[in-house]
Structure 1
């Protein structure tokens, strides 16, 4: 029997009281009304200037007037983006609110062919875009899909923890990147843009209360301090929401305990210069979502747990292990993290072009306990300490608009330092029976340069191209593994150096004012690195090679019925070399061990379509679809189940290999998302908004050639909301539901020693928001 949980504020989730708990979400319209002179001036851009770089990447999120809804009369967002020859998905603050996006993992429900998955239910995140991505064990490698916050690259994905608040918009750009800003990568970018300071006073607060005693509180204040000096401070706290429980004792798991602050101070000493100082801080003591065992990985293991219910799981912290890591015996799978960072940026318009510089420093301190076997036994409990930081510096010069030739040149430098220490408890696993400790330091620095040109060959035809180069140098130092009571191992340093050149070439034709097509070819790459988890042999630390992609893309953007219908689409083909994947190798007398390998050759192809429609008064429709397929064309890998089965039968480890040539990559073939909304004026002051949304994700292989339980099943989720807002008094109230049909589904998987687990997604949440803003 599940024990009842009664929130301290005495609010119970039932239909009779739901309306009393409705939320008031900060509607970002008030901030949009405050236009700076620079923002207003960007409205009047000549038609011939609406080209690939008419609005540089660092300024896209500042051009708010065309992206905001102020009255019941609406138009489609991101009109400028319709002139760009790319397949970037742009997500507005309004969409983030209506779809209840509270974490970066929710973004996969809004963009085609995007996968954002937690690593084993932790705050470490893996990104895949159009099938390109790296399942990084412990974040010591560069992601194939780089994440940016306000144009600052985050080399360690957990640094985005707690950042999804006061967000102005998000853009998801697939394909090789790094030709106009930042770092080169092979898969694309996910860019988060937080709201900027305003020249007039605005502020607001909101409270969101939902099932499982979850609460989300937000607030912000923005305005002028003195002449030409403005600021913005925003904060968020998330509490509760744990929906898993242990059937053996009724203990609950998954409560959030996260707080975050962000601030910006902007000075415009003259009409040509902007200087901004920003900073942020996040504390996260949230509990994790635990996995449910679905496969016994070791046939000789006699204590494999039976399948549990959807919300059920098990964990345990043994006293000896707790003492070793310095945490209490009652510790649940959870984070104990602090993140903070600061950035300083200067922008100056010289007339012929604009110079932008960004200096940033980001740091993280993590203490993470994960029960990676999904049981109450000590066969794979892991505690991880991480101390990491990254400094970056970017300088770029962008030519002025209004000329046939437009160019961007720049350079980017990043230096990161990481120290990791992780403990693994195998005391209940007869194959090992000990506690191990592994620790290492990793130093990395990267220097990249880029140049990009576009030239208006005619009034409608534009040629564009770019080059980038990156040198990435990383060293793995001081690696040691202690198997308490068994051995003490030390390993030699390892190094990985990448020097690669990327290129872009394309053509765009603005056939009509509301229809453009483009074709481009690009080459991108991602540096090599190390597999550095639970190492017992030097061979595990051998660096893997860089990967590279030659990408072909043909696309169009159209507004066949302006303000009524928008249709965009793209088709792509990726020629993939040395794809970096998680596999394993056999260590004699120990067993298969995880590592990274390079697939000599593979390919990916697919299509993407998106549509916005306003067919009738008050009716607004939106949707996108992605379809992709991938194939290994040359690849052999260790067959871990066969190797383990042979050992169980004979007591001897022997390597068995499988030829995966022609095997499907296992990426989700079909992803779809859509929404429908009815918006109307209820009175002269009140407006109403009623919406439903849904998203579908196809099955996904979580291992090479994975079938059966090694694939995540497909799933379809629905959500709904209803909002009443006062235009005159600045308040709004919303009731909503996520996973409306209460579907049971899995969001990722993991494995450790004896078990292979699926990590379940959240059940139905019903909640309400109340907010006031001015």
Structure 2
């Protein structure tokens, strides 16, 4: 913390010491914080008038901070963590400690992810979305009375740039460390009088920052492509129709893991020491497994994922209300090879193959803006299917020595009816109420775990079903102390559907469905502006009563351990956040965000991993004693503290404008239940410098990510024997060019 405060002080003092000519501004420039218009409550309004905990990240901020994937959002948004489980391509979202950790593809996210109002229910579908973005709105707490899907953690709403009514074009190019290159481009404008269009494309290549400890071969090259076409048709002043067609392809290398704990003895007796260089990794693939998954016999971890989708949105002004209707279809094909033991030994090679199809329809009616009563009513329906599974290579694992397959088909049908009312009782006091009913049927069909070789056998087969019919809602009160100060308090109930564990299985207990989780949230907050709106200060405090929390747990057998999704009967989370934006000068902007959260199990009797591991037979490696204990009072496994901030200063030097900015983030330590170890806290500091001609339409920039070259991990795991961590990249740098027409 001291070095961050020192850095911030130096930046501010340096700005103050600049010559007067650098700080001279035109009369039209002011030092007030910009007003941000959002649609978090399904109507356009200032973010400071939205009485919920909300963070908005603009498209410009995404560019300035080099935020390229949804994972990078955690370094900007308070109380948000986004980790890719075990180095794979499947992000796991957690807001205020509420989030699902699961490496399988069939269970939906606890945090709702939306792109242009279309839900992306499965985490693996959310990669490759962040190009040509207008803004991202992150809401904390249960959502359901305004959104199509019901969530317990919150919502991340991505809004892409819309077609323009004038001709516009843009190009962003960047090149950096390890031959990393990226291109983004768009062209937008009118096609005919009533039709506008916007075509956006993006591509990435290179960036292989990891290397094989045995061969020196590089790992980590990106190979992604994406395109989006938006068409907006306005046949009349009362009607607009938006068509969104999009495509993405990811053929990148996978993320390599790093050996992090006691020396690992692989098949064949080779002993691997703990890795000391965090760029080191390793991998291997057996001839049989390569043939099984259709890969090269020298394959390294890879992805071959493809997403396609289309959505159609109608907005119709009916005078007495606005009708919004949205229909969408999304498909995602996942083919991904990961090496989870991070060595040339074939102890834990895994290949995922999934075909995900989702279709949804949403219809809403919303009252006209400005009335004393603001209301919204809607209905949502979705059908989802997830087919596929994964292959596992345990051919050199102790006590296993075989190849396995897990396959399944899953069908989900969801219908939700929701409504929300804001009633302005007086000019200062507003009452809020919302209600939702959700009905869901979830089926797991033809689940099968089998040994493929050397001796084929079926370990488990089953078909399961699960139903949920639940009411959720919200009650709140808002009070405006002045034009610049809004206070609020609310209580809300959210639920997140249950599901099925689809791991390699041979235990009946592992195949039982896990239940839906319920969260009752109590929250109070403040939104305010001071000093002629030069300082914007927001704060929120919350308490969560958590029932049947979904958790990635473990089961032990005599010869090993297996994963299973479980429910914690009762737990709680409490915390607070503050966010501030300060513009003491028209050309100086400082942002700060600090969040604290702490949670405990209140009722939880489960396996004690530490005691069970300690009782393991040191000669045979078998678990002769499986220890259970009362886990009530133990801390929930998420970071207590996170701190994010930025400093940006711009000035004029002759005919050029210059902007220097730095952004930084701190994430506290957290406990990894799957690895039974602590992931250390870490700092991330980034910096950039951009210059542009005052009368030109292009800009040149340089940037550095992880300026201090600190080591950090996003997740840990122990799969069979090897204990591994998924490291974040070291220090990288780059140059970029942008052009606007």
Give TM-score, length-normalised by structure 2: 0.92
Matched, 1:452 2:408: no
Distance 1:274 1:252 in 2: 50
Equivalent in the alignment of 2:69: 103
Equivalent in the alignment of 1:542: 512
More strand per residue? 2
Equivalent in the alignment of 2:7: none
Q: Is the 8 A contact 2:261 2:274 kept in 1?
A: no
* SS of residue paired to 1:492: strand
Matched, 1:318 2:286: yes
Q: Name the CA shift for 1:721/1:262 in 2 (closer, same or farther; >3 Å).
A: same
Equivalent in the alignment of 1:140: 106
Q: Name the CA shift for 1:119/1:652 in 2 (closer, same or farther; >3 Å).
A: closer
Equivalent in the alignment of 1:624: 593
Equivalent in the alignment of 1:441: 409
Distance 2:80 2:643 in 1: 10
Distance 2:405 2:39 in 1: 50
Map residues 98-137 of structure 1 onto 2, 5 A cutoff: 98-137=64-103
Matched, 1:480 2:448: yes
Equivalent in the alignment of 1:39: none
Q: Is the 8 A contact 2:672 2:716 kept in 1?
A: yes
Map residues 703-718 of structure 1 onto 2, 5 A cutoff: 703=673, 710-718=677-685
Map residues 418-433 of structure 1 onto 2, 5 A cutoff: 418-433=386-401
CA drift at 1:98: 1.1
Equivalent in the alignment of 1:501: 471
Q: Deviations over 1:319-364 (max 9, x none)?
A: 1110111111121111011111000111101011100011000001
Q: Name the CA shift for 1:251/1:365 in 2 (closer, same or farther; >3 Å).
A: same
Q: Name the CA shift for 1:501/1:298 in 2 (closer, same or farther; >3 Å).
A: farther
Match of 2:565 among 596, 607, 610: 596
CA drift at 1:298: 8.8
Distance 1:240 1:183 in 2: 37
Equivalent in the alignment of 1:344: 312
Q: Is the 8 A contact 2:266 2:347 kept in 1?
A: no
Equivalent in the alignment of 2:3: none
Q: Deviations over 1:145-166 (max 9, x none)?
A: 0111111000111112111100
Distance 1:522 1:397 in 2: 22
Q: Is the 8 A contact 2:429 2:479 kept in 1?
A: yes
Equivalent in the alignment of 1:173: 139
Match of 2:608 among 629, 639, 648: 639
Equivalent in the alignment of 2:16: none
Equivalent in the alignment of 1:771: 738
Map residues 232-247 of structure 1 onto 2, 5 A cutoff: 232-247=198-213
Match of 1:691 among 649, 661, 666: 661
Matched, 1:568 2:538: yes
CA drift at 1:247: 2.4
Q: Is the 8 A contact 1:465 1:505 kept in 2?
A: yes
Distance 1:746 1:492 in 2: 37
Map residues 321-332 of structure 1 onto 2, 5 A cutoff: 321-332=289-300
Q: Name the CA shift for 1:462/1:109 in 2 (closer, same or farther; >3 Å).
A: same
* SS of residue paired to 1:625: strand
Match of 1:679 among 639, 646, 650: 650
Structure 2 alignment gaps of length 5 or more: 1-34
Map residues 66-215 of structure 1 onto 2, 5 A cutoff: 80-215=46-181
Matched, 1:416 2:387: no
More moved, 298-307 vs 81-90:
298-307
Q: Is the 8 A contact 1:385 1:421 kept in 2?
A: yes
Q: Is the 8 A contact 1:297 1:754 kept in 2?
A: no
Match of 2:704 among 737, 752, 768: 737
Equivalent in the alignment of 2:261: 295
More moved, 153-162 vs 299-308:
299-308
CA drift at 1:95: 1.2
Q: Deviations over 1:42-92 (max 9, x none)?
A: x9x9xxxx9xxx9564555xxxxxxxxxxxxxxxxxx80101111111111
CA drift at 1:641: 4.6
Q: Is the 8 A contact 2:263 2:273 kept in 1?
A: no
Distance 2:660 2:188 in 1: 29
Q: Is the 8 A contact 1:297 1:756 kept in 2?
A: no
Distance 1:492 1:130 in 2: 35
* SS of residue paired to 1:106: helix
* SS of residue paired to 1:338: strand
Distance 1:117 1:491 in 2: 31
More moved, 258-267 vs 139-148:
139-148
Distance 1:304 1:623 in 2: 47
Higher relative contact order (CA 8 A, sep 6+): 1
Distance 1:86 1:641 in 2: 40
Q: Deviations over 1:237-269 (max 9, x none)?
A: 010001000121110001000000011011000
Distance 1:93 1:292 in 2: 34
* SS of residue paired to 1:491: strand
Q: Name the CA shift for 1:56/1:217 in 2 (closer, same or farther; >3 Å).
A: closer
Q: Deviations over 1:221-241 (max 9, x none)?
A: 000000110000101001000
Distance 1:617 1:354 in 2: 39
Aligned-residue CA RMSD in angstroms? 1.9
